[in-house]
Amino acid sequence: MTDSSAPLPDPLPEPAGMREQYVTEGLAEAELPAGPMEQFARWFKEAVSAGDAVHEPNAMVVSTVDAEGRPSARTVLLKGFDERGFVFFTNYDSRKARELAGNAAVSLLFPWHAMARQVIVSGTAERVGREETVAYFRTRPHGSQLGAWASAQSSVLTSRDELDRAYADLAARYPEGEQVPVPPNWGGFRVTPQAVEFWQGRRNRLHDRLRYVRTPDGKGWDVERLSP
């Protein structure tokens, strides 16, 4: 148990005084392609090209809600995207997966702070096919494959030793070079977007916020500008 009465660092930084003036080029409607996935591809490529300035550009915050409407969020790595949506992988017994099973509504946030950019996706999640899961699992490093078996994600551990022992047992059973089977309770989700907002930081907090919203017939996209 942690001690909640422990003193805070001295001197304590003042969050209210922390400010960054975003001096960037803007984002105009005329610059946007017809659909959000092409625009996302443009920005994603630029984030990757930024090198160390944007650490893990495929890292995204995935937000879900439980049966009582209480939200939870965590950082997950994007593993693929195309016109169908955004794909990530997880343990199907994890908290996020259980919540998605009860409510498929999900939000994704790509926080590219170094570029004063965010991409915010609202949509619904569904499991990918087993073949797609197996194909991706085979690309994972050997240790990560073992980790998918060793971790009963989101469950309570008695100690770190419990997790390390589980991993060591698996490493002995499946040494490097031996194929690791895909866990039956592990796989991917594809998030089909209903709205995608592209946020570009601007001077004096007058940011550009352009949002694609899927048309009622589901065949196209409308673009709207949001006040910052």
What residues are labeled active site?
Answer: 205
Q: Write the DSSP string, 177-200.
A: TSPPPPPTTEEEEEEEEEEEEEEE
Element (H, E) at 73: strand 71-77
Residues 91/155, Cβ–Cβ less than 8 Å: no
* C-alpha to C-alpha distance for 67 and 91, rounded to whole angstroms: 19
Residue among 129, 130, 111, 113 at smallest CA distance from 121: 111
Q: What is the DSSP letter of 130?
A: H
Whether the upstream peptide bond of residue 11 has omega within 30° of 0, thus cis, is yes
* C-alpha to C-alpha distance for 196 and 37, rounded to whole angstroms: 9
Query: In this structure, what are the phi and psi dihedrals at residue 155, rounded to the nearest 5 degrees?
Result: -80, 160
Helix (H, G, I), strand (E, B) or coil at 81: strand
Residues 187/130, Cβ–Cβ less than 8 Å: yes
